[in-house]
Amino acid sequence: MTRPAEPASDDAATSPLWRAAQAFRLVTLIYAVGQQAASVSYYTNQRLSWVLIALMAVWSGVSAVMLSQWRIHNLRRVRTTVVIGDHVVVVALIFATRLVSDFDWYHGHQTLPTTLWAANAVMSSAILWGPFGGVTSGLLISAAIITAREQWELDIWRDATAPVLVSVGLAIGLAANTARRAQAQLQRAVRLTAAAEERERLAREVHDGVLQVLSYIKRRGTEIGGPTAELAQRAGEQEVALRVLISEQGERSDAGGPEVDLRPLLTAQATPSVLVSTPGEPVPFGRWEAREISAAVAAALANVVQHAGPGAKAYVLLEDTGEELIISVRDDGPGIPSGRLAEAEGQGRMGVSRSIVGRIAAIEGTAHLLFEAAGPDAADDGAEWEFRVPRRR
């Protein structure tokens, strides 16, 4: 039989509750046996009552072993089967009380499986199915006890059986759900920490190796000149692209998480040739959305370096209208000829459509190229991208 090496997240979260519930089951079994010894002299069928108590003890041992283990294949199905069996045994023993005692006894005393032992089924349901399962189980067993004792009269409101069992189911169910949420948050934090550490490790290795080599090729190629100048230019382009790739590494799992200030993500891209202007007040935005905006701006600036020439300057402006964010990226280079982007996309070169337009569209925004050069002889009016991203209410 295949056994998992470690419990799943849900099982790991509730394992302490399952083990504690089985310890409680042992205590309640001892109490039930003591109650049997104290009450057996009042029973009309004492031998049958001891047989039923023996069955209760056997079932308690079997269910405790099955519910407290997690090294079992199809653990969820096994636990569901045991919990359903728990209810069948409890209800059967409750009504079996009428086989071992007369009306006067079972009408005014506890049933054969004491209320305390019957609470085990309620606790198991609450751990497995949450508050709804716990409350439903409490109501079911309470109804069985009241029916078996024939107490459907006004005195039912003086009996604490139903309130106690329902309260136990509700409390344990809430505790189980809280444990599951805490386990999920812990695992998410561990994954994010591991991913961040891995990104930092890769960034260090890339920086120590590939980026330094590309930077060296760019510098030496520029110094040598001639045919190596083009090689130097390509190396510089790849260096910029690789730096952008490293800086934008992130996961969509951050979407919907805490908001971050967008301004530092943009101002971090400022250089002597890139001027970044942001509002004086913080601009909070979703973590993943802010990273996508920053990556789109970085891609636009990379295009400036690649196509506008080394002497071109770029300007990044962030505006927050309250309803949407407006980010402008403008340069003073030769501009982009009209229709050039559509032509490049038709040729299968998807850099702009994916790195800029695609990122902004993914966060339900729009990206427009406001200025295009009229032709190869047009004045150097530059190009300007405008990103508009609505705020989510």
90 by Cβ neighbours in 10 Å (0-12 / 13-18 / 19+) ranks as buried
Q: What is the pLDDT of residue 254?
A: 44
Work out the pLDDT band at 198, boundaries 50, 70, 90: confident
Round to whole Å and give the CA distance between 377 and 388. 31
Higher-pLDDT residue of 214 and 351 is: 214
In angstroms, the Cα distances linking 145 to 54, 82, 108, 113, 177 are 20, 21, 12, 10, 28
Q: What is the pLDDT of residue 125?
A: 92
Q: What is the pLDDT of residue 92?
A: 93
Under DSSP, is residue 375 helix (H, G, I), strand (E, B) or coil?
coil
Q: What is the pLDDT of residue 313?
A: 85
- Looking at the predicted structure, is the pLDDT value of residue 103 above 90? no
Higher-pLDDT residue of 123 and 280 is: 123
Higher-pLDDT residue of 112 and 351 is: 112
Tokens of 32: 């039930």
Name which of 26-30, 72-76, 129-133, 181-185 the model is least confident about.
Answer: 72-76
- Looking at the predicted structure, is the pLDDT value of residue 325 above 80? yes
Whole-number percent of the chain with pLDDT over 70: 77
Phi and psi at residue 92, in whole multiples of 5°?
Answer: -65, -45
**pTM: predicted TM-score of the whole model, two decimal places:** 0.54
Q: What are the sequence ranges of the domains in the chain?
A: 9-186, 256-393
Query: What is the rounded end-to-end Cα distance, in angstroms, of the chain?
Result: 52
Tokens of 60: 């308690």
H-only helix segments in 157-313: 161-206, 212-224, 228-247, 262-267, 287-307
Mean pLDDT computed over 347-365:
70
Q: What is the pLDDT of residue 338?
A: 59
List, for residues 257-314, the tens digit of each pLDDT value.
578 889 888 888 877 678 888 888 888 988 888 988 998 898 888 877 777 666 778 8
- Looking at the predicted structure, is the pLDDT value of residue 211 above 80? no
CA 106, 109, 114, 118 torsion: positive or negative?
positive
Tokens of 68: 């407290």
CATH of domain 256-393: 3.30.565.10
Cα 257 from chain centroid? 10
In angstroms, the Cα distances linking 301 to 273, 293, 295 are 10, 12, 10
Nearest to residue 195, comparing CAs of 141, 250, 238, 150? 250
Higher-pLDDT residue of 367 and 256 is: 367
* Average pLDDT over all residues of the chain: 79
- Looking at the predicted structure, is the pLDDT value of residue 317 above 90? yes
Higher-pLDDT residue of 244 and 16 is: 16
Q: What is the pLDDT of residue 115?
A: 84
Mean pLDDT computed over 116-131:
91
List, for residues 79-94, the tens digit of each pLDDT value.
899 999 999 999 999 9
